[in-house]
């Protein structure tokens, strides 16, 4: 999905618009039909640029037969978390519009996890705002609005004037506040909010998540969520198809974001992980879309403002390699963690340490199970001198270990009246090593002969079932090996009541049908992601990223977990 945010100081962002003239007091749109309209966009005189709008960019509507302008609500939690919402839409400079992006960027077989969603808008920071105070939305101004701060929650809703339904289209937190300085400037503040996916991108995994053995993907996700300081507004997790013998065993104990782990889990399940527009965190298993047969929206040529449908050889995947990772613990107990250096603890000091399990020979990250309780004098050794030549003092330490699948947290306390040196700190257990990954390959020979080879590798990080591996390779090859009319994105302008209602209601995983005569497109898709823009013209415009909905096995995908894809 193209990133459409703009520098807020290039006044009056409109899709495809180019600033072409010196500042004037009103905005002028030059329409391809040579009809010229002017519209006052601000109550007070502020320098606004003129735009020349390319064909098919904006369709201005005069005297509509029915209401087509949604009513925006830009709401903030100024009184604290869960203490109510304050609408600041009256202070929004709507000449800049409102832009919301959410969901998954692409529609290919590897596009399974959403990127951070954003909402962007501009607030009036001048004496023309609702309180009449300059600097009201500057973060460090003495006149700053009470409660206005980074990290507070933000919700954006629109009311459909035709149905009177309020649609939440964004829920997140304020991420950036960028005031325009100087008395000669327009005195505006550009604001960016991010959805909960940003929390997953920032939070790094810890051993406190615990061992993940014989767990389905939803159980592993639940365990990760439980350790995160900020929770999604609501959660809906589908049960996974299989329980993984081991998960998180290939994850570094430090620096691994939760979002990166979600990618591994989604690839292992062949499911989808994203946040819906209303704030729900969603994990769809691989059957969820295949069992949806109805349509949420049917569009034809007359309803689309734009359609992206490039035909390239990259659209055709005729060789698929699926990798699975059947793992079992080593038979013997061995050292899975070994502290690299001597650590000094002062009298009475407690140190918190974190260690990752590693192969003692190769140094590669590994997992471990059946980790033994540490034994004083064997697994941890303390001495009164750093070189170990002093008196033994292991019994004077208290060692508490919190085990994860790929590492451990240590809490080590010196109970002695003098400094002690921890000269050894190790853990023993059964190592889990990825020694024998298996690859399943499926090729469409006729497609290779016709257009050449395009192969894609799909790594199911925690998947162990060879039937699932074979089934995934066969399914993906059959779904993508033939050239077809394939839409990537569509753009729709809400210039009729019916289109506006659809734009405000649609979300990720809605199933839509699209037909377009010139391109020959006539197919079904799922919405993977979206961009909703409230334009300076007060109309709503939506761009959707699409994923093909056609199912080469008519919904019989891994229902029984067999490579034959037998019906359930």
- pLDDT, one tens digit per residue, over 249-296 is 877 655 789 999 999 999 999 999 999 999 999 999 999 998 888 999
Supply 361's token pair.
Answer: 């020979």
**Per-residue pLDDT for 45 more than 60?**
no
Would you give the DSSP letter of residue 368? E
Residue whose C-alpha is closest to residue 47's, from 69, 75, 67, 19: 19
For 159-196, the DSSP string reads E-TTT--EEEEEEEEEEEEEE--STTS--EEEEEEEET
What integer pLDDT is reported at residue 552 of this predicted model?
A: 66
- pLDDT, one tens digit per residue, over 185-194 is 789 999 999 9
What integer pLDDT is reported at residue 244 of this predicted model?
A: 94
For 63-121, the DSSP string reads S-SS---PEEEEEE-TTSTTS--EE-GGGB-GGG-EEEEEE-S--STT--BPPPPEEEE
Supply 296's token pair.
Answer: 């949420």
Domains of the chain, CATH where assigned: 196-286 (3.55.50.10), 319-327+436-480 (no CATH), 334-432 (no CATH)
- pLDDT, one tens digit per residue, over 93-105 is 999 999 999 999 9
Supply 378's token pair.
Answer: 């064997």
| 414/412 Cα distance (integer angstroms) | 7
**Per-residue pLDDT for 92 more than 50?**
yes
| 559/549 Cα distance (integer angstroms) | 17
Supply 316's token pair.
Answer: 């055709």
Residue 377: which pLDDT band, with cuts at 50, 70 and 90?
very high
Q: How many CA atoms lie within 13 A of 478 on its CB side?
A: 13
Residue 379: which pLDDT band, with cuts at 50, 70 and 90?
very high
**Per-residue pLDDT for 131 more than 70?**
yes
| 52/101 Cα distance (integer angstroms) | 25
Residue 362: which pLDDT band, with cuts at 50, 70 and 90?
confident
Please give the helix or strand (H or E) that residue 425 lies within, else none: strand 420-432
Residue 17: which pLDDT band, with cuts at 50, 70 and 90?
very low
**Residue 43 CB burial class (10 angstroms; 0-12, 13-18, ≥19):** exposed
Beta strand 234-237 pairing with 280-284 = parallel
| 496/11 Cα distance (integer angstroms) | 27
State the SS3 of 277-340: CCCEEEEECCCCCCCCCCCCEEECHHHCCEEECCCCHHHCCCEEEEEECCCCECCCCEEEEECC
Residue 22: which pLDDT band, with cuts at 50, 70 and 90?
very low
| 94/39 Cα distance (integer angstroms) | 13
At residue 312, φ and ψ (nearest 5 deg) are -135, 160
Supply 148's token pair.
Answer: 């206005």
**Per-residue pLDDT for 10 more than 80?**
no
The Cβ of residue 453 has, within 10 Å, a number of other Cβ atoms equal to: 12
Between 315 and 485, where is the model more confident?
A: 315
**Per-residue pLDDT for 82 more than 80?**
yes
**Per-residue pLDDT for 551 more than 80?**
no
**Per-residue pLDDT for 9 more than 70?**
no
| 530/533 Cα distance (integer angstroms) | 10
The Cβ of residue 292 has, within 10 Å, a number of other Cβ atoms equal to: 15
What integer pLDDT is reported at residue 556 of this predicted model?
A: 52
What integer pLDDT is reported at residue 494 of this predicted model?
A: 96
For 121-132, the DSSP string reads EEEE-STTSTT-
| 337/520 Cα distance (integer angstroms) | 60
- pLDDT, one tens digit per residue, over 383-395 is 999 999 999 999 9
| 179/189 Cα distance (integer angstroms) | 4
Residue 28: which pLDDT band, with cuts at 50, 70 and 90?
very low
Residue 39: which pLDDT band, with cuts at 50, 70 and 90?
very low
What integer pLDDT is reported at residue 519 of this predicted model?
A: 84
Name, in order, each residue with C-beta under 8 angstroms of 564's C-beta and a sequence gap of 6 or more: none
Would you give the DSSP letter of residue 143? T
What integer pLDDT is reported at residue 382 of this predicted model?
A: 96
**Per-residue pLDDT for 21 more than 50?**
no
What integer pLDDT is reported at residue 252 of this predicted model?
A: 61
Supply 386's token pair.
Answer: 């750093």
Average pLDDT of the chain is 85
What is the chain's length? Answer: 568
**Lowest mean pLDDT: which of 1-10, 207-216, 430-439, 505-514?**
1-10
- Region at 363 (left for phi over 0; alpha for psi -120 to 50; beta for the rest): left
Q: What is the mean pLDDT of residues 450-461?
A: 91
**Per-residue pLDDT for 297 more than 90?**
yes
**Per-residue pLDDT for 123 more than 70?**
yes
Percent of the chain scoring above 90 in pLDDT: 67
- Buried b / exposed e over 411-423, threshold 16 CB at 10 Å, is ebebebeeebbbb
What integer pLDDT is reported at residue 64 of this predicted model?
A: 47
**Per-residue pLDDT for 483 more than 50?**
yes
Between 14 and 377, where is the model more confident?
A: 377
| 489/542 Cα distance (integer angstroms) | 10
| 421/346 Cα distance (integer angstroms) | 9
- pLDDT, one tens digit per residue, over 309-361 is 877 788 888 899 999 999 889 999 999 999 989 999 999 999 999 988 998 88
**Per-residue pLDDT for 13 more than 50?**
no
**Lowest mean pLDDT: which of 64-68, 177-181, 408-412, 564-568?**
564-568
Find out whether 145 and 136 touch, Cβ atoms under 8 Å. yes
| 227/265 Cα distance (integer angstroms) | 17
Dihedral of alpha carbons 200, 201, 204, 205, sign: positive
Return the CA Rg of the chain: 29
Q: What is the mean pLDDT of residues 404-432?
A: 94
**Coil vs helix vs strand at 502:** helix
Between 564 and 156, where is the model more confident?
A: 156
Which residue is listed with tokens 């596009």?
111
The Cβ of residue 560 has, within 10 Å, a number of other Cβ atoms equal to: 12
**Per-residue pLDDT for 49 more than 70?**
no
Q: How many CA atoms lie within 13 A of 535 on its CB side?
A: 23
- pLDDT, one tens digit per residue, over 490-527 is 999 999 999 999 999 999 999 999 998 888 888 999 99
What integer pLDDT is reported at residue 117 of this predicted model?
A: 98
| 213/216 Cα distance (integer angstroms) | 9
Angle at 1 between CA 200 and CA 171, to 5 degrees: 45
């Amino acid at each position: 999905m193209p990133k459409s945010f703009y520098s807020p100081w290039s006044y009056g962002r409109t899709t495809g618009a180019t600033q072409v003239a010196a500042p004037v007091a009103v905005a002028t749109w030059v329409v391809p039909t040579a009809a010229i309209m002017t519209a006052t966009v601000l109550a007070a005189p502020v320098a606004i640029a003129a735009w020349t709008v390319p064909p098919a960019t904006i369709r201005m509507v005069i005297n509509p037969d029915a209401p087509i302008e949604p009513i925006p609500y830009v709401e903030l939690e100024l009184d604290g978390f869960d203490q109510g919402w304050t609408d600041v839409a009256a202070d929004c400079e709507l000449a800049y519009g409102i832009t919301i992006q959410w969901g998954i960027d692409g529609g290919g077989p590897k596009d399974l996890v959403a990127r951070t969603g954003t909402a962007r808008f501009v607030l009036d920071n001048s004496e023309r705002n609702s309180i009449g105070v300059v600097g009201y939305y500057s973060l460090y101004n003495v006149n700053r609005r009470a409660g206005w701060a980074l990290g507070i929650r933000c919700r954006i809703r629109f009311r459909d004037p035709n149905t009177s339904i309020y649609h939440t289209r964004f829920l997140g937190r304020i991420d950036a506040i960028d005031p325009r300085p100087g008395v000669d400037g327009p005195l505006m503040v550009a604001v960016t909010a991010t959805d909960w996916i940003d929390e997953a991108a920032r939070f790094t995994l810890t051993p406190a998540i615990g061992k993940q053995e014989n767990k389905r993907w939803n159980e592993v996700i639940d365990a990760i969520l439980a350790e995160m300081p900020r929770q999604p507004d609501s959660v809906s997790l589908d049960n996974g198809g299989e329980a993984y013998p081991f998960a998180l065993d290939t994850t570094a104990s430090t620096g691994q974001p939760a979002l990166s782990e979600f990618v591994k889990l989604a690839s292992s399940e062949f499911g989808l992980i994203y946040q819906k527009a209303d704030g729900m965190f969603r994990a769809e298993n691989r059957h969820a879309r295949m069992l949806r047969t109805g349509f949420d929206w049917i569009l034809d040529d007359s309803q689309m403002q734009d359609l992206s449908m490039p035909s390239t050889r990259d659209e055709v995947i005729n060789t698929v390699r699926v990798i699975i990772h059947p793992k079992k613990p080593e038979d013997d107990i061995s050292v899975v963690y070994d502290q690299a250096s001597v650590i000094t603890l002062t009298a009475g000091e407690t140190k918190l340490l974190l260690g990752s399990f590693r192969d003692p020979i190769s140094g590669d990250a590994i997992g471990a199970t059946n980790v033994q309780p540490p034994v004083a004098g064997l697994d941890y050794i303390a001495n009164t001198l750093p070189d170990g030549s002093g008196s033994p003092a292991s019994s004077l330490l208290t060692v508490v270990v919190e085990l994860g699948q790929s590492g451990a947290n240590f809490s080590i306390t010196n109970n002695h009246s003098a400094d002690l040196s921890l000269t050894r700190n190790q853990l023993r257990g059964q190592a889990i090593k990825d020694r024998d990954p298996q690859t399943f390959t499926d090729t469409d020979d006729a497609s290779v002969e016709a257009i050449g080879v395009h192969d894609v590798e799909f790594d199911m990080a925690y998947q162990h079932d060879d039937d699932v591996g074979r089934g995934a390779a066969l399914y993906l090859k059959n779904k993508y090996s033939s050239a077809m009319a394939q839409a990537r994105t569509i753009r729709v302008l809400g210039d009729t009541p019916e289109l506006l209602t659809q734009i405000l209601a649609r979300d990720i995983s809605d199933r839509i049908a699209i037909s377009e005569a010139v391109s020959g497109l006539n197919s079904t898709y799922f919405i993977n992601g979206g961009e909703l823009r409230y334009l300076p013209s007060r109309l709503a415009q939506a761009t959707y990223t699409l994923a093909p909905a056609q199912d080469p096995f008519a919904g019989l995908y891994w229902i029984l977990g067999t490579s034959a894809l037998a019906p359930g």
